């Protein structure tokens, strides 16, 4: 929580640390192993303010190709433009259903839980991959092709893609 009365003109800096469960961070296929660290800079100019939150944590995910678990450092940023109106702050140009952008929190303060949670979820991949060159599981025997070459024969690719394969071969030869 940030006390609105504590926001002075110019730049204000705050540091927060919260457990993922404290901010309602639940994501299928992800386990947050470390607390969420947030550094917030709020620059106030009269009744308006800009909020920039630098968000960091570590997450354990399941690879969508080979099903192995891997850890990754997650770092993202959230930015909001605010209008401070007495004991409330509103996100400028946002209309929530039945609530015109009022920041959550008791009167005189704002809570960053929703902003932090949404920023983390938005930067989370829909199909996490342990590494860009992950070869995944063999569609025939299920072996992890990153660890072994099972030798299974896979189906021939569809001929509709032949022209694209030929173009890719020509480009490789040209490099």
More confident residue, 103 or 125: 125
SS3 (DSSP) at 31: strand
Q: Where are the domains of the chain?
A: 2-123, 138-175
Contacts of residue 138, Cβ cutoff 8 Å, sequence gap at least 6: 145, 150, 152, 154
- 116-153 pLDDT per residue, tens: 988 999 998 889 999 999 999 998 899 999 999 988 88
Q: Shortest CA distance to 80 belongs to which of 39, 52, 116?
A: 52
Q: What pLDDT score was predicted for residue 155?
A: 72
User: Tens digit of pLDDT for each residue in 147-171?
Assistant: 999 888 877 778 888 889 899 889 8
Does residue 105 surpass a pLDDT of 80?
no
Average pLDDT estimate for 32-42? 93
**Residue burial 127-158, b: 16+ Cβ < 10 Å; e: rest:** ebebeeebeebbeeeeebbbeeeeeeeeeeee
pLDDT range class, residue 4, cuts 50, 70, 90: confident
The tokens of 52 are what?
């920039």
Residue among 34, 40, 62, 54 nearest 126 (CA): 62
CB 46 within 8 A of CB 68: no
């Amino acid at each position: 929580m940030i006390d609105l009365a504590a926001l002075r003109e110019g730049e204000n800096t705050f540091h927060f640390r919260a457990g993922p469960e404290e901010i309602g961070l639940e994501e299928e296929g992800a386990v947050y192993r470390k607390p969420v660290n947030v550094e917030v800079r709020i620059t106030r100019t009269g009744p308006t303010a800009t909020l920039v939150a630098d968000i960091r944590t570590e997450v354990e995910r399941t690879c969508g190709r080979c099903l192995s678990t891997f850890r990754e450092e997650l770092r993202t940023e959230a930015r909001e433009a605010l209008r401070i109106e007495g004991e409330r702050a509103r996100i400028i140009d946002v209309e929530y259903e039945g609530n015109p952008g009022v920041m959550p929190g008791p009167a005189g303060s704002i809570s960053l839980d929703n902003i932090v949670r949404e920023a983390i979820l938005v930067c989370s991949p829909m199909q996490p991959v342990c590494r860009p060159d992950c070869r995944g599981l063999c569609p025939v025997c299920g072996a992890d092709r990153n660890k072994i070459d099972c030798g299974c024969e896979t189906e021939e690719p569809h001929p509709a893609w032949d022209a694209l394969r030929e173009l890719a071969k020509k480009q490789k030869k040209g490099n």
